[in-house]
Amino acid sequence: MQPDDTFQPSTWAKDGPILAKHMGVVLDQITHYTTEPAALALDSQPALNTVPNLGVPLSLLSTIDPQLIRVLNSPLRAEAIYGRRQMGAWSDKTLYLKVLEGAGYGVAYGDFNKGGMASVNTGFEEIDRFLYQTHIRWGELEEATIGTAQISLANELRIQGVNVLERFINKVYFYGIAGQRTYGVLNAPQLLPAIQPDTKKEGGTAWDNATNIEIYNDVLKLFDTLVDRLDGVIDMNTPLTLVVPNSRQVLLRRTNDYSKPVTALLQDALPNIRIEVAPELGGQKEGTSGGVTGTGPAGNMIQLFVDEIDGTRTVECAFPMRLRLHRLQMHASSLSQKMSIGTWGAIIRRPVGIAQMIGV
């Protein structure tokens, strides 16, 4: 077709290729003119037997983040603060702590004088073992189903089983076990009574409205209590640990226009002090699961203890068995397993080396 030729419509079957080739007009969806005579056989729009659809299943357009987001729980701080140690085996029912006290007297020397005598006295403090257990179980179909989401059900159940056991043992280290000689570091009967904070300028004893100097003086009051009890065994260079509830840790950074924050003041006065945080010191924390004794302190508590005296740890978390995975039980189309753990509670070898203050 020449540019000066006049286009004369005929039928779309003839005109369509001409428009595309010579005029650059491509109309692939057009099949005929509306003015054309009746359509030939087999050229009508076909009827569908299925639902009209140009899409795909939505699941084919989705993806799963491979990273697993686990729900957060309160941190388990007992072993990090007080240390831990394995003693005995899980078959041992009682732990004996050996206590030795020296005694004696002397007299003025004489060649034939037989006066004076030194002696020792021994004692044994009994600690009871406590064993704790939980179970996990899963089905074959259940595991295959959740596996499509890139989650290993068996592994996650074992992780949660360990978490259940560890959280319980952490409570025992703080609260002990009711009805037996397995004690916690907050309520062991051999601990000396907690002291009270000084009254603050704004009223009350709590740290909420206290100045940095008032908070600093409360910690020094705890240290002075230890010095008096230990009669000079420790000094300001002795390694110490200060434990505070998480609601009070930020207050240790309190300052004013003329002074350093509390942490800096403490480091200047007690250069070997270590500051730790434990949620269990923050008031009435329930701890009754599985026989754990009662609750935490009646108010916010801080604790200052001497790390070591004469080569002996003041307090330590002890256990006869860290974790035991019992036999895997195979059922018809499912599996189960028992998991257990053991503890001696908090071993407090020198109660005099721990000072506590309640009401901050």
Residue-wise pLDDT tens digits, 147-176: 999 999 999 999 999 999 999 999 999 999
The pLDDT mean for the chain works out to 88
Region 263-290 average pLDDT: 83
Q: Which of 339, 356, 204, 351 is nearest to 280 (CA)?
A: 356
Q: What is the structure's pLDDT at 46? A: 62
CA 54 to CA 60: how far, in whole Å?
14
Q: Which amino acid is at 338?
A: K
CA 131 to CA 155: how far, in whole Å?
23
Instruction: Scan for tokens 């599996």, then name that residue.
Output: 335
Helix residue ranges, H only, the chain: 12-18, 78-82, 140-147, 153-175, 212-230, 262-269
Q: What is the structure's pLDDT at 297? A: 74
Least confident span in 8-22, 214-228, 324-338: 8-22
What b-and-e string marks burial along 162-194, b requiring 16 or more CB atoms within 10 Å of the CB? bebbbebbbbbbbbbbeeebbbbbbbbeebeeb
The number of residues making up the chain comes to: 360
The H or E element spanning position 325 is strand 324-325
Q: What is the structure's pLDDT at 262? A: 94
Percent of the residues in the chain that have a pLDDT greater than 90, as a whole number? 70
CATH number for the region 78-101+118-358 comes to: 3.30.2320.10
Region 68-93 average pLDDT: 93
Whether the per-residue pLDDT at 2 is higher than 70: the answer is no
Whether the per-residue pLDDT at 67 is higher than 50: the answer is yes
Query: Residues 306-351: pLDDT tens digits?
Result: 999 999 999 999 999 999 999 999 999 999 999 999 999 999 999 9
CA 51 to CA 45: how far, in whole Å?
16
Whether the per-residue pLDDT at 294 is higher than 60: the answer is no
